[in-house]
Amino acid sequence: MARVCTTPKILPKILFFSFLLSSFPCLISANRELDEENWKEILKGEWMVEFYAPWCPACNALAPAWKELSTRANQKTLTVRTAAVDVTKSPGLSGRFVVTALPTIYHVKEGEFRQYKGPRDAEAMLSYVEQQRWKQSDPIPGWKAPDSFQMTVVAEFFKLSQALRSVHTMLMETYGLPTWGSYLIFAVATIFVGAILGLILVCVIDLLYPPRRSDKVTITRSELEELAKGDQRRPDDEQALLNEDIVDDAETANSDAEKNSGSDSSDEEKEKPEEGADAKTEGKDEKTNEVRKRRPRKAD
What are the helix (H) ranges across the chain? Answer: 2-28, 57-75, 91-96, 122-130, 149-173, 179-208, 221-264, 266-271, 273-293
Amino acid 66: pLDDT: 93
Alpha carbon 21 to its chain centroid, in Å, reads 52
Amino acid 91: pLDDT: 85
Same domain for 183 and 145: no
137 assigned to some structural domain:
yes
* Residues with Cβ within 8 Å of residue 299, at least 6 apart in sequence: 234, 237, 238, 241
* pLDDT average, residue stretch 46-51: 93
Given a contact cutoff of 8 angstroms between Cβ atoms, the answer to whether 99 and 90 are in contact is no
Q: In angstroms, rounded to a whole number, what is the distance separating the alpha carbons of residues 85 and 71?
A: 18
Same domain for 205 and 146: no
Same domain for 195 and 144: no
- Average pLDDT of the chain is 74
Q: In angstroms, rounded to a whole number, what is the distance separating the alpha carbons of residues 252 and 270?
A: 25
Sheet holding 104-109, edge to edge: 31-34, 80-86, 46-52, 104-109, 112-116
Amino acid 227: pLDDT: 75
Q: How many domains does the chain have?
A: 2
If one compares 71 and 231, the residue with the highest pLDDT of the two is 71
17 assigned to some structural domain:
no
Under the banding of pLDDT at 50, 70 and 90, the label for residue 144 is confident
If one compares 273 and 48, the residue with the highest pLDDT of the two is 48
The answer on pLDDT for 244 being more than 90 is no
Nearest Cα residue to 33 out of 88, 72, 73, 76 = 88
243 assigned to some structural domain:
no
Same domain for 118 and 35: yes
Is 59 in the active site? yes
* pLDDT average, residue stretch 36-52: 91
Q: In angstroms, rounded to a whole number, what is the distance separating the alpha carbons of residues 55 and 102?
A: 10
The answer on pLDDT for 147 being more than 80 is yes
Amino acid 211: pLDDT: 76
Same domain for 142 and 34: yes
What is the residue range of 196's domain?
177-210
The answer on pLDDT for 281 being more than 90 is no
* pLDDT average, residue stretch 135-147: 88
Same domain for 34 and 79: yes
Amino acid 54: pLDDT: 92
Q: Name 51's bridge partners.
A: 85, 104
Q: Which listed residue (5, 26, 59, 203) is catalytic?
A: 59
Q: In angstroms, rounded to a whole number, what is the distance separating the alpha carbons of residues 100 and 98?
A: 6
Amino acid 24: pLDDT: 37
Amino acid 92: pLDDT: 86
72-97 confidence digits (pLDDT tens):
888 777 788 999 999 988 888 988 89
If one compares 248 and 28, the residue with the highest pLDDT of the two is 248
146 assigned to some structural domain:
yes
CATH number, residue 144:
3.40.30.10
45 assigned to some structural domain:
yes
Same domain for 129 and 62: yes
Most confident of 16-25, 118-127, 168-177, 269-278: 118-127
The answer on pLDDT for 271 being more than 90 is no
Under the banding of pLDDT at 50, 70 and 90, the label for residue 256 is low
Alpha carbon 166 to its chain centroid, in Å, reads 28
Q: Name 116's bridge partners.
A: 105
The answer on pLDDT for 298 being more than 60 is no
Amino acid (1-letter code) at residue 150: Q
Q: Which listed residue (5, 26, 56, 203) is catalytic?
A: 56
30-43 confidence digits (pLDDT tens):
588 998 889 999 99
In three-state secondary structure terms, 51 is strand
Amino acid 61: pLDDT: 93
End-to-end CA distance of the chain: 121
272 assigned to some structural domain:
no
74 assigned to some structural domain:
yes
188-227 confidence digits (pLDDT tens):
888 988 999 899 999 998 888 887 765 566 667 777 777 7
143 assigned to some structural domain:
yes
Under the banding of pLDDT at 50, 70 and 90, the label for residue 291 is very low
Is 56 in the active site? yes
For the ranges 78-92, 135-149, 208-222, 228-242, which has the lowest average pLDDT? 228-242
Same domain for 124 and 53: yes
